[in-house]
Structure formats: structure tokens, C-alpha cells
Amino acid sequence: MFCLDNVCETHNNFKRAEVKLNAMPWFHGKIRREEAECLLQPREDGLFLVRESTNFPGDYTLCVCYKNKVEHYRVIYKDNKLTIDEEEFFENLSQLVEHYQKDADGLCTRLRDSVPKRGGLEFSVDSKAFEKAGWVIPLADLDFGDCREVLGKGEFGDVRLAWYRGQKVAVKILIDSSKAAQSFLAEASLMTSLRHKNLVQLMGVVFDGGTICLVTEYMAKGSLVDYLRSRGRLHVTPRDQINFAIDTCAGMAYLESKHVVHRDLAARNVLISEECVAKVCDFGLAREESFNLEGGKFPIKWTAPEALKYHRFSNKSDMWSFGILLWEIYSFGRVPYPRIPLVDVVKHVEKGYKMEAPDGCPSEIYEIMRQAWDLDPEARPSFAVVLKKLESFLKKFQASANFHTSV
């Protein structure tokens, strides 16, 4: 479910608001009445949850504890609105819950605490929120040309090149699938709130029948890992390496300042623009800190041990991944932990094993990697601190380069 924030901004001459994703921790999906009653313990007045109605598909049921019993209220869908009493109508479940949290308004009691769903929050998909906020692009405004060039393959579908208002854009296409649509729109809604020169910018969202597209700025030079691999030691200069590290770190420091955790930081999720600026992309897994990733495919070699083991994702677990990303930059795109089979990586890492410095990697940079790979998340530096270190390293580097050229 989305609600609109009041923050407006101007981009491409039209005003757009942030589309905020509203998690519904109290929404348990299709569970039976008996299961709901089991979950509602201890029976304190006002303890509640919402489930999908099993008897009336499409409707919901609000289950509330009162005087040691559970009351089940049917929430019906009527004229695109939700209602319990056919007097008060709501656009979405979040609004309904909010209303009855303020006032019992005919229910047995006011809603108080909720029973949160374990393992994965639910969001509902609402294209209207994007429309209202000014983020919707009509499909007809995108010109795919004849070639329909595929820029890459994403988890949900292809990423294609198109023209939009005279500029090249990347279009990530999701073919009809309601489950994936939720994560896809969650990614989009998060992107509406983020704006930084080192994050791939969202331009808009297309809704066309069952198809949803994310339109982002076009990053002409592709992913950082491909860039490093294809050009290699001969063409990627030490100056490029430090620039990529600083760009990525600046994008991450911005996310850190916004308390957004990326969860999938890796050189494959950093893209390079025509001007060689590195930008972080793929917010598919970036969520509020409480989000519980279940059944997700973990990028094991990039994920901090506490995140792998206990799902403890944080800006500090992103810092661990940043250490791996630095290693990728300085090894020109090698796969981390070479020669260690994937199944053994965790075992080694938990014992404190750290990769060696790649050939020719400056000691200052390797020191950052080592700090990022501290088993204690709290002992790892913040992105803000690492950014300062990288910038002062760049200054030193430039000074010595000037020195060399002037003699």
C-alpha cells in the first residue's frame, strides 16, 4: 500500500511527489479463522490482525480481541473502496486500520497492538499512487525503435534501451506476475524518494495492462563488473579505480544518511555512465531495516556473516559488501574468494578468513577492505567515514601524480 508524502520536487518540468511504500505488518494473507485465533495471543483488548477472507474471495477479515474472544469483521470491497459498516469507506487497508486505531467507531474496541506477520511483510500494489504523484509515463511516450536492444537481463525480465523525450533511457520490464509486481513496485517507490548523482535515477513507471516498466536514466557503459573485466588492467587506470570507489561510496553514504539498506551491493549492481560516473542501482532488495528477506537468493560472497546467518541487514552489512566491491575493483572484476568453493566460503569467513589484497592494490585501500570485513558489524566504519578516507587518498594520489608529471 502506498501513501503520498507531501514532498514535491520538479524534474523534467513536472512536479512529482514521493510515493511511500506502506508496509502492512498486520496483514497475514490467506490464513484460516482458526489460525488467526491461534495467533491472537494473549487476548488483550484491541490486539488485531487482518487476513484475506476464505469465504468471500477478494474481501478481507479484521480479527480483533475483546473480552477474551476474537471478533471477525468482514471488510467488503464496494465501488473500489473498502468498508466494514457501509458508512465509512477507505481507499486501502492501511487507511482502514489507521481509522479504527484512532476510534472504535462501532467496533467492539479500538485497535491497539497488532500481531505482525513473521517472515516477510506484505505490500499492496497501487498504480494510482504513482499516477497521483506524477511518476507515470504513458507507454506511447517511449520509443523502442526497431532494434529493441536488450541492455541486460534482470531477475524479473529484460532491461531495454528506449528514447523518452529526446533522451536515452533504460526500461526494466516486468511481465505480468502479481507476486513480482510487489517487489518491483517496492523498488520503484523507494526510488521516488532518492536523488543523488551516484544513484541511478528513476524517471518514471509505465503501467500497460499487466506489464509494468521501470524507466531509469541510461547508463551507457554498462555494469561496473563488465567494465572492469572487458577493459582490464591495460585500460582501467588507478585513477579510474579510485573514482569508481569514491562514486559508489558517495551513493552508499547517501543511502546510509537516509537509513536505507541496499542488501545487494556488488560491482554487478553499479552502473557506469557515458561520462564514466559510477552509480549504484538495483534497489530490488533495498528495504526498510525491519524487512525480512525470506527465501531470497543470497549473494553469499558479498553478504556479511550476520546477515547470512540471522538476516541482520544494516548499513554495516552493506559496508561488508562494499569491502568486497573494493576488492572487485582492484582485482579488475574477478569473482571474490577465488579457489574457495562457494559452500566453504561461509565456514572460512566465520573463522575470520579475509581475502588477500589484490595485486597492486594500495595499502590504504586494503586497510579499508579489512575494516569492512570485521566480524563485528559495529566495528566496521560508516560510509561517511570511508568516503572521507577515500577522498583524502585521492588527494594524496593526485599530489603524487602532479609531482611525477612536473619533474
The residue from 264, 282, 318, 374 that is catalytic is: 264
Distance between CA 182 and CA 237 in Å, rounded?
41
Distance between CA 31 and CA 17 in Å, rounded?
35
- Does residue 282 touch ligand ADP according to CB under 6 A? yes
DSSP 8-state secondary structure symbol assigned to residue 119: S
Q: How far is the CB of 138 from Mg ion (least distance, A)?
A: 27
Closest-by-Cβ residue to Mg ion is: 282
Stretch of residues binding ligand ADP (CB under 6 A), selected from 50-58, 67-75, 152-160, 392-400: 152-160
Q: How far is the CB of 323 from ligand ADP (least distance, A)?
A: 20
Helix (H, G, I), strand (E, B) or coil at 252: helix
Q: How far is the CB of 176 from Mg ion (least distance, A)?
A: 21
- Does residue 187 touch Mg ion according to CB under 5 A? no
Q: How far is the CB of 345 from Mg ion (least distance, A)?
A: 20
Q: Which one of ligand ADP, Mg ion, none interacts with residue 117, CB within 5 to 8 A by kind? A: none
* Positions at the binding site: 172
For ligand ADP, the binding residues in 197-216 under the rule CB under 6 A are 200, 216
- Does residue 151 touch ligand ADP according to CB under 6 A? yes
Stretch of residues binding Mg ion (CB under 5 A), selected from 32-40, 60-68, 140-148, 277-285: 277-285
Distance between CA 99 and CA 20 in Å, rounded?
19
User: What is the total count of residues that contact ligand ADP (CB under 6 A)?
Assistant: 19
Closest-by-Cβ residue to ligand ADP is: 152
Q: Which one of Mg ion, ligand ADP, none interacts with residue 170, CB within 5 to 8 A by kind? A: ligand ADP
- Does residue 155 touch ligand ADP according to CB under 6 A? yes
For Mg ion, the binding residues in 281-320 under the rule CB under 5 A are 282
Q: Please, are residues 170 and 215 in contact by the beta-carbon 8 Å criterion?
A: yes
Distance between CA 221 and CA 170 in Å, rounded?
12
Nearer to ligand ADP, 54 or 167 (CB): 167
* Positions at the binding site for ATP: 172
DSSP 8-state secondary structure symbol assigned to residue 60: E
Q: How far is the CB of 249 from ligand ADP (least distance, A)?
A: 19
Residues 244-273, one symbol each (x = binds ligand ADP by CB under 6 A, - = not), give ------------------------xx-x--
Q: Which one of Mg ion, ligand ADP, none interacts with residue 218, CB within 5 to 8 A by kind? A: ligand ADP
**Helices 315-330 and 363-372: angle between axes, nearest 10 degrees:** 150
- Please state, as a whole number, how many other Cβ atoms lie within 10 Å of the Cβ of residue 296: 14
Nearer to Mg ion, 67 or 153 (CB): 153
Is 264 labeled as catalytic in the residue annotation?
yes
**Contact with Mg ion (CB under 5 A): which of 94, 269, 314, 315?**
269
Stretch of residues binding ligand ADP (CB under 6 A), selected from 66-74, 276-284, 332-340, 391-399: 276-284
Nearer to ligand ADP, 1 or 170 (CB): 170
Distance linking the first and last C-alpha atoms of the chain: 63
Q: How far is the CB of 159 from ligand ADP (least distance, A)?
A: 4
Q: Which whole-number Å values give the CA distances from 313 to 117, 188, 243, 287, in the listed order? A: 19, 20, 27, 10
- Does residue 223 touch ligand ADP according to CB under 6 A? yes
- The burial of 297, by beta-carbon neighbours within 10 Å (0-12 exposed, 13-18 middle, 19 or more buried), is given as exposed
- Does residue 223 touch Mg ion according to CB under 5 A? no
Residues 315-354, one symbol each (x = binds Mg ion by CB under 5 A, - = not), give ----------------------------------------
At 71, which amino acid appears?
E
Kindly list the residues in this chain that would bind ligand ADP in the complex (CB under 6 A).
151-152, 154-156, 159, 170, 200, 216, 218-219, 222-223, 268-269, 271, 281-282, 284
**Residues belonging to the active site:** 264
